[in-house]
Amino acid sequence: MDKFTVVVDNKRHIVRVTHAGDLDISMAKKMVSEARTKAHKLGYNLLYDFRESFIRVSTVEMYFLPRGHELLAIPEARDIKSANIIPLKDKKVDWRFFEATAQNAGLNLRAFKNEEDALKWLGKDAT
């Protein structure tokens, strides 16, 4: 079953998103909407955990996601860090491309291979 959860971690001041299964562009947009709404409201950073995901998003969709989603176009989106723990099993996705295209669109997003490095980058409250 393909699903995601969005949980507010008040201790770490992050919104944690965990996904498992196939991730297509439609589900990615739903995830971004739910997670960003909570993060913007609370002023928290984001931790996306895709370790159990199989990404089914094309390179073109990856390029347009940070530019076309309404919650990523608002000025507050630039203030929120988004750490993405990448699936090491799924080699089809060019995470450096997604990281670069998101940063070029003005987002503070990075891809990581493990949770420890992602939490360190998110800041002292997250570790």
Is residue 12 within 8 A of residue 125, CB to CB? The reply is yes
Ranges in the chain, pLDDT < 70: 1-2, 92, 126-127
Is residue 99 within 8 A of residue 64, CB to CB? The reply is no
Name the domain count of the chain.
1
| Owning domain of residue 56 | 3-126
Whether the pTM exceeds 0.85: the reply is: yes
Give DSSP secondary structure letters for 75-96. Answer: GGGGGSEEEEEPPSS-TTS-HH
Percent of the chain with pLDDT over 90: 71
Here the CATH number for the domain that contains residue 73 is 3.30.750.24
Q: How far apart are CA 90 and CA 105, in angstroms?
A: 25
What pLDDT score was predicted for residue 76?
81
What pLDDT score was predicted for residue 127?
59
